[in-house]
Amino acid sequence: MATYLFARLFQAAVGRLLRASVPIVRIQTERLVYFATWAIGLLVAVQQLGIVIDIIELLVAIVALAFLFAYRESLENIGAKYFSDIYLPFKVGDEISIKGTSGRVIEINPICTVLLTADEHLASFPNSIFLREHFVNLSKVAWKEVNIPVVIQNDVDLAEFESQVLRACSKLKMYWDERFPPFFTTRNRDAKNAELVLTLMLRSPDKKDVAVAEVNKRISDIIQKLKSKQPATEPS
């Protein structure tokens, strides 16, 4: 019971702290804190039952270290992919140039990004390289496009969420290029979650941070507000 309460408390605290962050980062961090709190709570509970857990703790630590060491490069690439969704300014379809190779991005998977070059060759780059090397997005007006990934759980009415976010974006119209109204694209939809991307086009590049932070805040507020209402009926 105590573990449950602490887990919820820490989750809510993290949520508040990361209110202005990209929603997907906030949600994933909340989950991580929640499960980490539970893991610690369970270890403490087991210890209180008198079971010696030193050996278990040692084994878990050794396995974790071995895993991290063996898969460090893959984890680096997976981590970079995670950040590239949010912080790196390119997406599938864009033309980019990196380390002397230019091409159209045709795939971004957890390990690498694949470009199709002008002479129809495939060039593959590990995702971690985008965090270390300079690259250029050659697509026209690439600087304008802001893509904000959002994950909505089924306890939030998706249609209502979308409506309210679009209205909120309309109220922030001074930041956006009005020739390109905001829209959501569905990346994935399963029984528990909807993975969406909100696309907006900036009016001016120097307002990007302010505009994106404002949208993120409003998205978080809308999610909280809708969660506190009646749960949405799962599509039948």
Q: Which of 66, 185, 221, 225 binds other proteins (CB under 8 A)?
A: 185
Tally of helices (H runs) and strands (E runs) in the chain: 7, 8
**Residue 109 or 170 with smaller CB distance to other proteins:** 170
> Is 101 near other proteins (CB under 8 A)?
no
Q: Treating both helix axes as pointing N-terminal to C-terminal, what angle do 2-17 and 23-48 enclose, rounded to 10 degrees?
A: 160
CB-based contacts of 203, cutoff 8 Å, min separation 6 = 174, 175, 176, 177, 178
- How far from the centroid of its chain's Cα atoms is residue 104's Cα? 23
**Residue 135 or 184 with smaller CB distance to other proteins:** 184
CB of 161 to other proteins, least distance (A): 9
- Beta-bridge partner residues of 145: 201
Q: Which of 180, 207, 214, 218 binds other proteins (CB under 8 A)?
A: 180
> Is 92 near other proteins (CB under 8 A)?
no
Which of 142, 95, 134, 91 is CA-nearest to residue 117?
95
> Is 230 near other proteins (CB under 8 A)?
no
Which of 138, 152, 133, 208 is CA-nearest to residue 176?
208
CB of 171 to other proteins, least distance (A): 10
Whether 157 contacts 235, CB under 8 Å: no
CB of 178 to other proteins, least distance (A): 6
> Is 222 near other proteins (CB under 8 A)?
no
Q: Which of 170, 204, 225, 231 binds other proteins (CB under 8 A)?
A: 170
Contacts to other proteins by CB under 8 A: 158-160, 162-163, 166-167, 170, 173, 178-181, 183-189, 191, 234-236
